[in-house]
Structure 1
Amino acid sequence: MMKKESSGERIRARRKALQLTQQALAKIIGVSHVAVSQWEKEETVPRGENLLRLAQWLQCTAAWIIDGDGEVFATHAKAAPVAAVPLISLAQASAWLSEERLLLKQQAAHFLYSESQLSDGALAVTIDDQAMQPDYRPGDKVIFDPDVQPQPGDVVLALVDGVARVRIYRLQTQQQDEQIFTLRALNDDFPQLHSADSALEIIGTLMELRRYRSG
């Protein structure tokens, strides 16, 4: 007789299917990551509002979580998978294309949650200068995806001589396997950058802009 999957195993399976870490799931539910770990180990059981929020974010029914009964998915809602995108500093983003990416994701203390189709490598940063004004302001949070190839006019996160910067991409020419491109700011006080003159590397293409009211 096949062993019935436990509630903790169901929670873990749904969380992993949605590519959420225990920490990310805990943040959006409003509990500690220890609580999520205890649910998955079946040391405790989610109840009340926590159970309802867990079912909502795992996109399944509360009854299925607890007992494995009925349909997995709630029939009244077919929400898109929610991606937890690590929000990191621009200094950390400078290492995003290196082997440090996994460590940076694991160490991230803050996340932006998105229903966009994003790759596992998506990241979010906070704009910290005036270069992209007036369209992008200091304090704006922006999500980039390294797996999306930029098109001329797209906003990108790029390495500029080892420093992560948000700029507008413009392809100049393709020379064999090398792309010659420029990066420009919206603010004319900032110089245009050319890949033939500076060490430029695209980290990711802009997917979302988040602006929050201050005060």
Structure 2
Amino acid sequence: MMKKEFVGERIRSRRKALKLTQQALASGIGVSHVAVSQWEKEETVPRGENLLRLAEWLQCTAAWIIDGDGEVFAAPSSVSHLSTLPLISLAQAALWLQEQRLSIQQQATRFLYSDVPLSELALAVMLEDDSMQPDYRPNDTMIFDPAVAPQPGDVVLARVNGIAQVRIFRLLAQHQDEEIFSLRPLNEDFPAVTSSENSLKLIGTLMEMRRYRSK
């Protein structure tokens, strides 16, 4: 019989031992921080894929979470390399590589956490339109890193004539130190653009995408 009365205490103590906030743990699992809070208060019990992901992030077995059985590994692995990223609007992202970046960081009220190796310039945005359908949808959360140079076919965040957009990168030509490239959407209803005819500035290369189930 599951000892439900101890589940929340085990989750909370293990999370604190690994120096994870509820938000960081929730982001890694792919649930809301409210869900983690409910687990720790024993209002609900993690199940299925959420339980497996929780065990992975807490460096323990699912059996230990539910029943207190099994070994708990003291040394965190990739969780110790957690990065904190501001989740900003596309309008703010258009100014990210300019002098306003520090101000935007300081004003941010929403953050994501990632165990993917990222530079200090990394940022997160939410897709706002249908331009990248069918692979990417509105409200998909995307993490970009300006320190990673894109390869042909990579998804990038770029400033297109002053507006931040998510597009597919394609290198067209290399002239000395200047790259001529195009940015194209996946949705054919939106136009492709080239750096030879438009004001384009690459902001970052896609490192991670998250899609949360709507209620």
Question: Which TM class, normalised by the smaller chain length?
Answer: 0.5 to 0.7
For these two proteins, the number of residue pairs brought into alignment is 153
State the alpha-carbon separation in 1 of the partners of residues 147 and 121 from structure 2.
7
* Structure 1 stretches lacking a partner, 5+ long: 1-23, 31-48, 50-56, 60-73
- Aligned counterparts, 1:9-158, within 5 A: 28=24, 75-80=74-79, 81-158=81-158
Residue 159 (structure 2) aligns with: 159
Task: Say whether the 8 Å CA contact 2:24–2:112 is kept in structure 1.
Answer: no
Q: How far apart in 2 are the matches of 1:76 and 1:146?
A: 31
| Local SS of the residue matching 2:191 | coil
Give the Cα–Cα distance (whole angstroms) in 1 for the partners of residues 25 and 136 of structure 2.
30
Per the TM alignment, residue 102 of structure 1 is displaced from its structure 2 partner at its CA by 1.1
The aligned residue for residue 54 of structure 2 is none
Supply the AA of the counterpart residue of 2:83: A
- For structure 2, which runs of at least 5 residues remain unmatched after alignment? 1-19, 27-39, 41-56, 60-72
Instruction: Give the match's secondary structure for 2:168.
Output: strand
- Aligned counterparts of 1:201 and 1:76: Cα–Cα separation in 2: 42
2:181 corresponds in structure 1 to 181
Deviation sequence 1:19-72 (CA, Å, 0-9, x none):
xxxxx9685489xxxxxxxxxxxxxxxxxx8xxxxxxx9x9xxxxxxxxxxxxx
TM-superposed deviation, 1:177: 1.1
User: 1:18 maps to what in 2?
Assistant: none
Determine the C-alpha separation between the residues in 2 that align with 1:29 and 1:173: 43
How far off is 1:94 after superposition? 0.6
RMSD of Structure 2 on Structure 1 (CA): 2.4
Tell me the CA shift for residue 107 of structure 1: 1.1
The DSSP-based 3-state class of the residue aligned with 2:198 is coil
Match of 2:46 in 1: none
Identity of aligned residues (%): 57
- Equivalent-residue separation in structure 2 for 1:198 and 1:76 (angstroms): 50
The alpha carbon displacement at 1:75 in A equals 3.4
Q: Which residue identity lines up with residue 137 of structure 1 in the other structure?
A: R
Aligned to 1:193: 193
